[in-house]
Every structure is written in structure tokens, then in C-alpha cells.
Structure 1
């Protein structure tokens, strides 16, 4: 088809001469064989500008028509008519090209439509034109949707900025450790296993993936005999556990509770504690190095903080000795590493907090003399995740935060937080925006609480009532986003949120309790002999149930036990008052009235019976014993034979 005729037809259909330039038909012809790219790009740009002006004019016309009360149907029909005509003119050329494929080499196709103009965009423009007043330039329906999404995202950002909404406390599970205080909690880095220790000397192991809704521990042991457990912590790799008890020797166990290492005990008669190989008094706390998996630290009543190496158990690695201003020995009650492991901090009984460089054990790097009330036990020190802030939980019912860059005064102080335990915890939330600690209560005088403070403003933003006992231990695992709490009545509670938390307690609450089955074990060892003769084969015993059924049919095995004997006894059985043979014999001896003081008479008393019924002695010598022959001389003859000098004179 001739391009000139196509242009004329297009002008007739559209009624507007600009349509050819808009649709790109004005450049048709054999002259377009030489491509001028600059001219094509310039024409495309002008076409896009003209089209945008044209669309704006149409929208303004529609607005005026709507204001005048005219129906929008005519507007739509006119617009669609023009669009259909343009589309017809647009898509005719490919048909002609396909019909005359042989002439396509000689005839070149003109510039294409602008890349911004697509059928999908036309449909969107139609949708925009069908709705009321026009939209401002550059504002489309897609932009409107994006603005709605932005509003939703802003609302989500507002909720994200509120750290209280991130607290996972919608659900909880309760693990029954015992009846006494849970004084130690430890969770491995992956969050798969929890270990609890208490005043009852027990250490219990809990596996979230292996538990069901019965929530039973898979192992319980007493690693330190009759010493209360003070602290439990998994190493960085989670393969060993540090056990700190009231003993002077810390222990290291593996994941299954078997002993790996026991620290050596020092010589208590040496004055300088730096010259002893280990602690000489009760331990108060301990923790692992956050970067080095073989190193851990302990503090004791002997006035030292010692670091240890897992590979050398015969001697400590280094010794830090807290001192008062007068240079006297003070007792450290808690100790911890900084997040990078370069600093060692200890809280002491005289109210001081002393911080050393890990590699310089002589002088302190930071020191606050009156951090807490002297004479009280600082129960916990915890560094924030950014390593700048240090939180301290004091025995004077306070919670304080410190900036280690300016360690003279606390940044914030919270009062009225009752503390009755020497190991009450405080910790930071995983996003470092909240600080949480527990409160203590006396028996039947209220509920222990978890109190949450905003780190910046240090305002009480949230509280959780745990149980009618003190809240002692506390963990907020950053990976699981779950809070573990140890209480004073032997419970270990786990708080979680199904949406915000991951794994951990959520693995065991979905498993049903296993039904208790009767133990079906073999009563005796069964030897399999497949080639034995039938007469020598043993019947295989499947379970105890079938064996018990067979035993019930056996009159000997199912014989009813004889009842206790009442009365003097019968059939060789002794009555209850003579329960044993010895008591029966003693009783008969006491009741025997015979007098055996004369041994000759006692023996001759059985002579007649022995002669009449010779059962014991005579039959044994019957065949070999000769017959006795006695002399039959009289007494008179014997007296006559005696000499005269032997005769007694009368």
C-alpha cells in the first residue's frame, strides 16, 4: 500500500492533521531509507510533548463538561472513538507488511511510537479519565497506590520505633525445675537448649526440639554435690557449660553434662592471693569470654577475679585484685566481660565498680567509688550491645546506667526495685532500646515483676507480673527473641510471641504428649538358633504381657502369697509376735522351767530315751563297734584282794 494513501486515509478517519505526526506516519516514504537518528529522536521527543499537551487539554475539557452537568458517556465515546481510530491506523501497517513480505526489503518502516506510550498505559489513562476530576500532572493511579503504601509504611515505622511493641509476651510456657529458687539460667547461642540450676543443687537440661507439651527435662544431675548453683553459661560455640557454685572450684561440663574440667583449689594459707593457683573461698559468679572460646572468668570471696584457660586446669591465667581507696581487699560479687572482650568489670561489696583492661591486671582503667551503697551486693553488671553503656543492678534496690567514657556519675538511676538475691539480673533488649530487670517480693506479699525501662528516657514503659515469687534470673535471647525468667519458687518461664519470636519454645508447644505405654521388654535373653532341631528350639518371648498371661495359668507361679500367721504358729511358720527364729528361741528359753544347773542330771535325763531309741549315735557304730565285756567281780572280792596296808583303819 502506498504510504501517501495511508496518510490520506488516516487524516480522513481522525479529522485532525496532527494525528499523523502523533502516530509517526509523516516520515513514511522511500526517502526514509537514509536514517537520521538525531532527527528521529527529536521527532519522538516532540511527539511525546504534543501528546502530553493533548491529553491535558482533553482532561480539562472533561472537567468543564462535568461541572456543567453533562454526562460523561459522550466524552468517553468520543475519546474511545479517537483512540480506536488511532489504534486502527497504528496496527494496519504491520498487516500490510505481513501481506507484502517480499516488498519489505525495499520499503522501510518509519519511526516507532514513543516508548512511554504502551497499550497498558492507555488502559490506565482510560481508567483515570473515567473517574471524576482530573489528576494533577505527574500524578497517576500508580502514584496514588504508592502514596497509600507509603502511609502504611510510615505507620509500620511508627510501630517499629516503639520498642514496647517488640516485647514478646503474648504467650508463655512454664518449666518446673523444682521447689527452690532457680538461681542460674543458661541458653546456648543457637537457642536449642536451656539449662537451669537452683538452690536444690540440681542442674536440669531442657531441649526445646525434643520436648513435647509435658515440658520435661531430659537430664538432671548434681555436678557440685551439696553446693548451690550460682551461675550457668554456655560458651560462645555452645559445646561446653561453665558451672559456678558455692564451692571454691568451678567446673566445665559438656552439652550432655559430663565433666570436662575442674579448676584447681588454691592454698588458703598463703596471704598473697596472686601466688596461689586457684580460688580459696566460695565463688560468686563467672562468665565466658565473648570472643575466645577457651577462656572464662570467675570471682570469689577470697577477693580476686581470675581468668582461666580451658586447656590448662592446673593454674589460673591471670589475677585481678579489687582494692578499696585505702588499698584493702574487697570482695567482688559479680563480674563480666565487655562485648568486645577487652574490658573486665567487677562489682564489689563496698559499692564500687572497677573495670580493668584485660591485658593489664595491676591498675584499674575505670573506677567508680560510690556506685552503690557500701555493704550491699551488686548482683549484676551488663554491657549494652554497642559497648558504650554499662548497667548495674545493686543490692540497694536501684538500677543504674553508666557511660564508660565518663564513669564518674551515673547517666540514669531507677529507685524502688526490691532486690533480695545476690544474683538478680538485668539485661538489654536485642535492639538496645530497652533495659529490663526483675523485682523481689517476700512470701505471700505480692507478685514478682519484670520491669522494662526505656534506655534513652529511663521511664518505666512496661511491666509483666510473672508469679507470686521473686524474679531472680533473666535472659533475653537476641536470636530467638524470647525472654527466659527464673523465679524464687522453682519455676523457669519462657515468654514468646508467635509472630516476633523464632523457634525455641515454639517447637515444643505444638507437640502432643506422648502416651505412656507399658514397658514391653524381654524377660530373659533369647538366643536365636535358626538351624536347631525343633526339639531344641526355644519359644521366642515377645513381650512381658504374654509372659505374664502364661504365668497366670501356671499354678506355682501364680500361687497366692500366704497371709500372716496369727496365734502360736503352724506348719513351721512363726506367729507375728515371734517374727524371727531368734526371737522365737529366746521366748521359748525364757518360758522353759527346767533347771540345767546340774549338767550330769541334764545329760542323764535323755539316757533312757537314747537307750530305747538309739537313732543318733548307736546306728553309726553298730557294725564296727565291738561288744563290751565287763568283769562280773563283786565288791567284797575286790576288798579282800587289796593289801592290808591299803585298807582303811576304823
Structure 2
């Protein structure tokens, strides 16, 4: 059996080998007798009666397809570049914004640019290079490639606020003005649509839109906070307290100037203010005549301490206030406001104003900006000492702010400078380590109030010289200031009067000669006034009887009719003769008087004339009677 199996296997191998040889010989025969494509088609069509079995299969060239894809990508990139270039202004026009070079480039002398401060050592190892790359990734979050300037005034811009959509901006300053900016309707003019002074001659300390964006809280150097509507009209004014009372908890409102104010994060009808009277007061829009609660800030000796800034946590569970003596008071809103829940002492130097306090979204950590040129990060779970500290940040204003980035990886603030001694800067720190990630120059004056809007991803900075700087990146930012600069500039209508050309003809006749301009403007106007056609002077009445529908001057209508119709043919030279000439006709044919007395008095009896002697006698008798 085994031998039979082996023989069968050998036979199978031989048959396979013969088949391979036969196939190879057949293929060689076909290759030797191959026909061109045209001849194959002709032979097939003559043999089978049709040209083929269908369309030829499509062939793909990978290299050509890659080349087409590269061209399409290049064209799309070019279109995007043109769209970005459309935002730029021609060289002849006034520039609307400044394009800032990338952070890796060196800044020029003429343009203030953004730069990253990081150590560049040639002998650094690979680990330092990896850290620098990580810092570059964090710094790329900041939208600062383009810059726009808005002119608020000539003095410090101390307050800024944006509504939730990022379409409207309000700014207030030390010039007592509040300006309203609407990016959707502003265009390339870059001008505010409304300017008001709601608080008289008081500096604006704080401005904030409500969560719904329909009302604005205004706190100034006055003791009364105001609520404005979206268009700037006053909706409510808080009451002023009794300044002669010793206990500030007994008064209905503040008695001295305000320092800060903010809205409740969840209730749109409640807000909070703090002032120099040593109190933080909670208000309700529906009851402006009295505050809801009063929170007192006191020193370690129990004396009055002035709060310079107040804020809510994101979940409204905590109220925080920074005091002028360097302490921070924190109250829990779920408890009674008798004493602060957390009393954080020596947070900043005594006597330095705490200008800003910001809670993060975890509602446990917050950052404080002090007047002692420092910024500190705190945690309520261990509030005895700060988590991180940043020093050498000059602060000369009571309203210098600090802010978080939208993802809360960065914390930024501005620096102050003396006039003519440097440039104000925006400085960014990493929240986890407080390492300086980035800083860039903003203006030749101090950087006071600044904010980073998370929805439109744009930076707004109020400066000490009255300018508002807007920083954005066309690729990372959206709407906001980009909508106004992308609009086409409207062409101004020409209102100048086009004068006709003057033809000088010195030898022309006087009737064809034009005025050569020798006469003064007064003479030209007098001449035009004398011309009845040019001056449209009405026709004067005629001095005589009048004709052509015009009445003579000095006559009424009845006088005119009687004079021209009733006695038109009469001659008034001798009235006696004109009457007596009708006497004969009247006696023969009486018409008016005689027929009326024909029956009662047919013969006319006239009054007889008396003698003059009889009149004298009557006069003498009358005198005698008077004498007697």
C-alpha cells in the first residue's frame, strides 16, 4: 500500500510539471503572435459583430493624484490668505489695527510687539528644550497677533465690561464719561454710539453688565450706585444713607464714595457694592430704598477698615472683600453675616489697596492683585499662606485688574509705569506653577483694566492715556472687533458745489460779457437781490386805480368798488350844480320822496329862514334870564 501511494504522488508531480510547461509554451506562442490594439479591435469586431464588452477599466496614476491634491491645498491656502488680507487696509488709508509679529521674532524699534520671556542658553540640555516647547504651546493660546485702538478720552480708562455675547462694550474713566461701543454697527469709524455722564463729576470706579446683558451696574466716586438699561438710560438709583449715624448697619445705604460693585452670578436682580464707609452692602433691584444686608469690614483692633474690592464666587456661595489694610474677608452666604467665615491676614502690605479679586471655576481658589506690586494665588482649603506668588508687578491704580484665560491655564495682569518712563505691559503666568509665560508691551502708559472674553476670545485693555486696546487673532478669535474692521469703508459723499467754468471774453459786448470776479460778494448779493427774477420778489401794488387784477395801495375792497364802479362818471368839482341839474326831472317825474307824501302832504312845505334880528333878540333875552 505504501508503494502504491508513492507511485501515485510521483504521477501527480509529473502531471503538474507537464501542465506548467504546456502553459508556458502556450503563453510564449501568444506573446510571439500578439497583435496591436487596433488590429485586435478590428478582428474582434469582424468575428463577433461588436466592438467590445463595455467601457475600458479606468486607470489611476497615484503620482498625478498626489500632485492634484497638492495644487488644491495650495489654492485653498491662497484663498484663506486673501481673506485675511482683506481685513488689512491699503497703504494710502489710515490703518485700523497693528499686525504684531510672532513671539519668536525679535521686536523692532518702531512697533510694539508681543514677546515671550524665556531663557535661551546654548548649553541647555534636552529637558530645557522640552520645557521651552511646552511654554511655547501655552503662550500660543493668547490671541495677540492683531491690535485695534479705540479712543475713550484723554484720561485713564478705569472700567471695562462686555456683555455675554461680546457684541457691546462699555468703558468708563476718570473723565466721568461712560461710552457705549457696538461692534456690529460700528464699522471702520471706530467711534462710540453714545457718551453719557450719569454720575456727574465723579470718577467711574466699576462697570458690569448683568448676566442677561440688559442692565448695567455703575459705581463711581458718588455714594449712590446706579442701574442703567442697555441704551444708557437710568433705571434705578440706590438710596444714600444717613451720614450722622455711628452704626453703619443702621443706615439704609452707603454714606461715602463707592469703590467696587458686581452682580450676583445667578440672580439677575441682586448686586453688591462696597465703599469707604467700611461696609459691603447687598441690594435688590426691586427695593432700591434700602439694602438687604450689611457686611462690616473691621481691622484686628475692631476699628473700621475700608474695602477696596468685592466679588462673588462662581456658585455664589462665598462673598470676598479685599480691605485696605491688606487683609481679605470671606463670608459664607449660607451662614449669618455676623463675622467673616475666613479672615486672611497679611495677604498684602498694610496700606496697599487690593485692586482685584477673581474666583476660579472650582470656587475654592482665587487670585488677588495688590498695591504692593504683587499678585497671589490663594486656596480656601489652606488659606494661611498663598499657593503661588508673583512679584515685581508695579500697580499704581485702585482698579488694576487681573483675569483668567478661558481654560484657566493662564493668569494675566497689567503693569503700571510713570509718565514718560516706560511702557505698560500685559504679563501672563501659568496657573499651576506661576512661571512667567509671556509678556508684551501695550502702550506708552499704564495698563489699568483688562479682561479676556471667553466667547469671542479677544483681549480688551484700558490704558492710562485714555485708549482701549483690543487684541485678537483672526484664526482664533471670532466676531467682536473683527466684525467692524471687516466691513467695507463707506465712501463719503461729495457735498461741494461744482462751479461752472468761466469764459473770459474781454472784447465782447456788455450784454454778452460775464462777470470777471472783480466785484465783491456783497455787491453780487445786492445785485441778485435787486433782480426780481432771481430774488423771487412779489409784485408790488399799483399806486393808481390798478389794473390787471392788482389793487392800488391804501384802499380796501369796498372803497375800490365804490370808487371805480358807483361814481365812475361823476365830476366832484361842483357838487351843487351836479345835484340841481336833476331838480327839473325830479319835479316833473318824482320817484323817491314825492310819491310817499302824495296823499298826506301833496304840497311841499319847506322851513322858512329866520331873520338875523330875531336871532339877536332871542340871544339877548337869554342873557337877561341868566343874569337875573
**What range describes the TM-score normalised by the shorter chain of this pair?**
0.5 to 0.7
| Residues 558/208 of structure 1: CA separation in 2 closer, same or farther (3 Å cut) | farther
Once the two structures are overlaid, the 10-residue window that deviates more, 195-204 or 378-387, is: 378-387
Instruction: Select which of 475, 479, 488 maps to 1:512.
Output: 488
Structure 1 residues 74-98: Cα deviation after superposition (integer angstroms, max 9, x where no partner): 9xxxxxxxxxxxxxxxxxxxxxxxx
What TM-score comes out, normalization by structure 1 length? Answer: 0.56
- Check if 1:267 corresponds to 2:249: no
1:183 aligns to 2:158 (yes or no) = yes
Return the alpha-carbon distance in structure 2 between the equivalents of residues 313 and 339 of structure 1: 25
Instruction: Within 5 Å, give how 1:352-367 maps onto structure 2.
Output: 352-359=327-334, 360-367=336-343
Mapped to 2, the partners of 1:184 and 1:259 lie a distance apart of 18
1:418 to 388, 394, 399: 394
- Offset at residue 386 of structure 1 (A): 2.2
Query: How does 1:513-532 map onto structure 2 within 5 Å?
Result: 513-517=489-493
Match of 1:523 in 2: none
Deviation at 1:387, TM superposition (A): 1.9
Match in the other structure for 2:260 = 285
Rounded to whole Å, the distance in 1 between the matches of 2:493 and 2:454 is 39
- Alignment of 1:388 with 2:364, yes or no, is yes
Q: Distance in 1 between matches of 2:304 and 2:393?
A: 29
Instruction: Tell whether 2:307 aligns with 1:332.
Output: yes
Aligned counterpart for 2:469 among listed residues 489, 493, 498? 493
Q: Find the counterpart in structure 1 of residue 405 from structure 2.
A: 429
- Other-structure match for 1:461: 437
Q: Which residue of 1 aligns with 2:376?
A: 400
Contact 1:348 1:378 in 2 (8 A): yes
Structure 2 residue aligned with 1:242: 217
1:36: which partner in 2? none
1:418-447 deviations in Å (ceiling 9; x for gaps): 000001000111101000000000000000
Q: 1:556, CA displacement in angstroms?
A: 3.0
State how 1:156-195 maps to structure 2 within 5 Å: 162-195=137-170
1:214 to 174, 181, 189: 189
Q: 1:347 to 1:558 in 2, by over 3 A?
A: farther
**CA offsets 1:457-478 (integer angstroms, 9 cap, x no match):** 1011100200000000011111
In the TM superposition, residue 499 of structure 1 has moved relative to its aligned partner by 1.2
Could you list the per-position Cα deviations for residues 340-367 of structure 1 after superposition, in whole angstroms to 9, with x for gaps in the alignment? 1111100001110010012421111112
Deviations 1:245-287 (A, max 9, x none): 0000000000100001000000000111111000000000011
Aligned partner of 2:206 among 221, 224, 231: 231
Distance in 1 of aligned mates of 2:455 and 2:339: 37
1:259/1:558 Cα in 2 relative to 1: closer, same or farther (>3 Å)?
Answer: farther
Distance in 2 of aligned mates of 1:380 and 1:293:
22
Seen in structure 2, the aligned counterparts of structure 1 residues 160 and 292 have a Cα distance that, compared at 3 Å, is farther
Task: Indicate the residue corresponding to 2:529 in structure 1.
Answer: 556
Task: Point out which structure has higher relative CO (alpha carbons under 8 A, 6+ apart).
Answer: 2
1:474 maps onto 2:450 in alignment: yes
- 1:554 to 1:178, Cα distance in 2 relative to 1, 3 A: farther
Q: Distance in 2 between matches of 1:516 and 1:286?
A: 43
Deviations 1:278-300 (A, max 9, x none): 00000000111111111111000
SS, match of residue 528 in structure 2? coil
Match of 2:289 in 1: 314
Partner Cα distance (1:239, 1:197) in 2: 18
Q: TM-score, normalised by structure 2?
A: 0.58
User: 1:449 touches 1:471 (CA, 8 Å); kept in 2?
Assistant: yes
CA contact (8 A) 2:356 2:400 kept: yes
Q: Distance in 2 between matches of 1:558 and 1:489?
A: 59
**In structure 2, C-alpha distance between the alignment counterparts of 1:179 and 1:325, rounded to whole Å:** 41
Say if 1:556 and 1:190 are closer, same or farther in 2 by CA, change over 3 A: same
Aligned to 2:345: 369
What whole-Å deviation, never above 9, does each CA across 1:610-644 have from its counterpart, x for those lacking one?
xxxxxxxxxxxxxxxxxxxxxxxxxxxxxxxxxxx
- Which sections of structure 1, spanning at least 5 residues, go unmatched? 1-10, 17-73, 75-122, 128-154, 521-550, 560-650
Query: Is the partner of 1:281 in helix, strand or coil?
Result: coil
Using the TM superposition, give the Cα deviation of residue 558 of structure 1 relative to its aligned residue in structure 2, in angstroms. 11
In the alignment, structure 1 residue 347 sits paired with structure 2 residue 316: no
Query: Shift in Å at residue 212 of structure 1?
Result: 1.1
CA distance in 2, matches of 1:457, 1:467: 28
- The answer to whether the Cα contact below 8 Å between 2:135 and 2:437 also exists between their aligned partners in 1 is no
Cα distance change on mapping 1:361 and 1:516 into 2, 3 Å: farther
Q: Is it true that 1:196 corresponds to 2:174 in the alignment?
A: no
Question: Does the CA contact (< 8 Å) of 1:552 and 1:558 recur in 2?
Answer: no
The residue aligned with 1:256 is 231
Question: Residues 429 and 558 of structure 1: is their aligned pair in 2 closer, same or farther, counting only changes over 3 Å?
Answer: farther
